[in-house]
Amino acid sequence: MKVMIGLVRREDMSHEEFAQWWTQEHAPLARTLPGVRRIRFNLLEEGAPFDGIAELWFDSAEAADAAYATEIGKAVAADSLAHVSSRVRMPVEEYEILG
């Protein structure tokens, strides 16, 4: 099961500041989410609808919900919310077409 999260940086942050925070400060925190199996951060070009899209894999939707309900999960979400103007969490069903 995969969760994708679209992030739009705060208006007072540059694209470079967002990238620095996300990849250097937030990434190590995200790695501590209980039950997370894999994480991929995708930085988008400036002017795209999001500044970043995170992909997080869990064993199930329940495992993802349980991870974010923990103190660590709440800290990860709070860190995101402190640095973004928009955070959209989207559980997805993945269909690989070409691998």
Q: Taking the domains of the chain in order of start, what are their residue ranges?
A: 2-90
Flag whether pLDDT at 28 surpasses 90: yes
Q: Give per-residue pLDDT as tens, 33-90.
A: 999 999 999 999 999 999 999 999 999 999 999 999 999 999 999 999 999 999 999 9
> Residue 64 has what pLDDT?
97
Q: Specify the DSSP element, H or E, that contains 58.
A: none
CATH number for the segment(s) 2-90: 3.30.70.100
pTM of the predicted protein model: 0.94
| CA–CA dist 34, 73 (Å, integer) | 8
Flag whether pLDDT at 99 surpasses 90: no
Q: Of 42, 23, 35, whose CA–CA distance to 65 is shortest?
A: 35
> Residue 60 has what pLDDT?
97
> Residue 25 has what pLDDT?
98
